[in-house]
Homo-oligomer: A and B are copies of this chain.
Amino acid sequence: MNRPLKRPLLSRFSPPQLIALSFALAIAVGSGLLLLPFAQQSGQRLDVLTAIFTATTALCVTGLKLIDPAQTLSVPGQLIMLLLIQLGGLGLITFGTVFALALRRRVNFSERMRLAQQVSAFDVGGVLGLIRKIFVYTLIIEGLGTVLLALRFVPQFGWGQGLYYSLVHAVSAFNNAGFSLLGNSLQAYRADPLVCLTMCALVILGGLGFLVQVNVVAHLLRRRSERLLVHSRLVLTTTVLLLLAGTLLIAALEWNNPATLGPLPLGEKLLNSFVSSVMPRTGGFSTLNTELLRPATLFLTIFLMFVGASPGGAGGGIKTSTLAVIAGSAWSMVRGQGEMVAFHRRIEESTVLRAMTVGLLASAVVGVMLLLMLAFNTTPRLDFSHLAFETVSAFSTVGLSMNTTPDTNAAQRVILIVLMYLGRIGPLTFALALGQRVKRQDVSYPPERDILIG
List residues of A (440-454) whose CB comes within 8 Å of B's CBs: 440-441, 444-454
Contact status B312-A451, CB under 8 Å:
no
Chain A interface extent, by class: 35 or more
Find the B residue at minimum CB distance from A438.
Answer: B338
List residues of A (351-401) whose CB comes within 8 Å of B's CBs: 351-361, 363-364, 367, 370-371, 374-375, 377, 383-385, 387-388
Contact status A452-B100, CB under 8 Å:
yes
Min CB gap A301→B, angstroms: 11
A107 to B451, CA, bound (A): 13
A67 to B186, CA, bound (A): 49
A439 CB contacts on chain B under 8 angstroms: 336-338
A327 CB contacts on chain B under 8 angstroms: 364
Does residue A428 face the partner (Cβ distance < 8 Å to B)?
Answer: yes
Of A18-26, A79-87, A341-349, the one touching chain B: A341-349
Given contacts A231-B451, A431-B454, A439-B338, A446 and B346 within 8 Å (CB-CB): yes
A349 to B452, CA, bound (A): 14
A444 CB contacts on chain B under 8 angstroms: 346
A277 CB contacts on chain B under 8 angstroms: none
Among B298, B342, B353, point to the contact of A353 (Cβ < 8 A).
Answer: B353
Contact status B234-A451, CB under 8 Å:
yes
Does residue A296 face the partner (Cβ distance < 8 Å to B)?
Answer: yes
Does residue A35 face the partner (Cβ distance < 8 Å to B)?
Answer: no
A294 CB contacts on chain B under 8 angstroms: 374-375
Does residue A195 face the partner (Cβ distance < 8 Å to B)?
Answer: no
Among B96, B230, B318, B353, point to the contact of A451 (Cβ < 8 A).
Answer: B230
Contact status B209-A452, CB under 8 Å:
yes
A329 to B115, CA, bound (A): 29
Does residue A164 face the partner (Cβ distance < 8 Å to B)?
Answer: no
A385 CB contacts on chain B under 8 angstroms: 383-385
Contact status B451-A427, CB under 8 Å:
no
Does residue A437 face the partner (Cβ distance < 8 Å to B)?
Answer: yes
Given contacts A231-B451, A453-B358, A454-B428, A441 and B338 within 8 Å (CB-CB): yes
A353 to B338, CA, bound (A): 11
Does residue A104 face the partner (Cβ distance < 8 Å to B)?
Answer: yes
A311 CB contacts on chain B under 8 angstroms: 452-454
Q: Of residues A209, A370, A444, A449, which shows the largest number of chain B Cβ atoms within 10 Å of its Cβ?
A: A449
Given contacts A107-B449, A342-B448, A383 and B303 within 8 Å (CB-CB): no
Q: Of residues A209, A311, A326, A375, which shows the largest number of chain B Cβ atoms within 10 Å of its Cβ?
A: A375
Does residue A325 face the partner (Cβ distance < 8 Å to B)?
Answer: yes
Among B96, B296, B441, B449, point to the contact of A337 (Cβ < 8 A).
Answer: B441
Contact status A441-B341, CB under 8 Å:
yes
A231 to B448, CA, bound (A): 9
Q: Mark A286-301, 1 if CB is under 8 A from B, else 0.
A: 0000000011101110
List residues of A (62-117) whose CB comes within 8 Å of B's CBs: 96, 100, 104, 107-108, 114-115
**14 more A-B contacts (CB under 8 A) besides A345-B445, A426-B454?**
A230-B450, A296-B375, A299-B384, A311-B453, A319-B452, A322-B454, A346-B446, A347-B451, A348-B448, A348-B449, A351-B449, A352-B353, A385-B385, A434-B453
Q: Lowest 9 CB-CB distances: which A-B pairs, in order?
A: A431-B454, A336-B437, A345-B448, A427-B454, A311-B452, A296-B374, A384-B385, A296-B375, A356-B356
Listed by A's residue number, 29 A-B pairs whose Cβ atoms lie within 8 Å are: A100-B452, A115-B450, A211-B452, A230-B448, A294-B375, A299-B384, A311-B454, A325-B453, A327-B364, A330-B360, A330-B361, A333-B357, A337-B441, A338-B438, A338-B439, A339-B441, A341-B441, A344-B445, A345-B448, A346-B441, A346-B447, A346-B448, A347-B451, A348-B448, A349-B353, A356-B356, A356-B360, A427-B454, A434-B453
